[in-house]
Chains A and B, each alone.
Chain A
Amino acid sequence: MRYLPITPEDRKAMLDKIGVASVEELFNSIPADVKLTKKLNLPDAMSEPELRRYFAALAKENSGSEMLTFLGAGAYRHTSPAHIDQLLLRSEFYTAYTPYQPEVSQGTLQSIFEFQTMVADLFDMHASNASMYDGATAAAEAALMATKIKKKRDKLVIASSMHPQYIETIRTYTAHFVKEIVLLEIDPKTGMTSTDELAKIDEQTIAVMFQYPNFFGVIEDGKAISEKTKEMKALLIPVVIETTALAILQAPGELGADIAVGEGQPLGIPVNFGGPGVGLFTASEKLVRKMPGRLIGETKDKNGNDCFVLTLAAREQHIKREKATSNICSNQGLMALAAGIYLASMGPKGLEKVALMNVRRAEKLKKMLVEQTNCEIAFSGPTYNEFSLMTPIKASEFAKKMEEKGIVAGLPIDKYYPALDNTLLVTVSELHTDEELENFVSATKEITGGAK
Chain B
Amino acid sequence: MSFLHINNIKKRFGDTTVLKGIDIAIEKGDFLVLVGPSGCGKSTLLNMIAGLDSISEGELLLNGERINELHPARRDIAMVFQSYALYPSMTVAGNIGFGLEMRKVPKAQRREAIQKVARMLQIESLLDRKPGQLSGGQRQRVAMGRALVRDPQLFLFDEPLSNLDAKLRVDMRTEIKQLHQRLNTTIVYVTHDQIEAMTLATRIAVMRAGELQQLGTPQEVYDDPSNLFVAGFMGSPSMNLLRADIVRHEGVLHARVRKRNEDVLMLPIERDAEALAGWEGREVILGIRPEAITDPASAHHDGRIFEAELEVELVEPTGADMYVVTHLGGREINARMRPGTDISAGTPTRFAFDVSRMVAFDPDSEARIRHT
Do A and B bind?
no
| Chain A interfacial positions (CB closer than 8 Å to B) | none
| Chain B interfacial positions (CB closer than 8 Å to A) | none
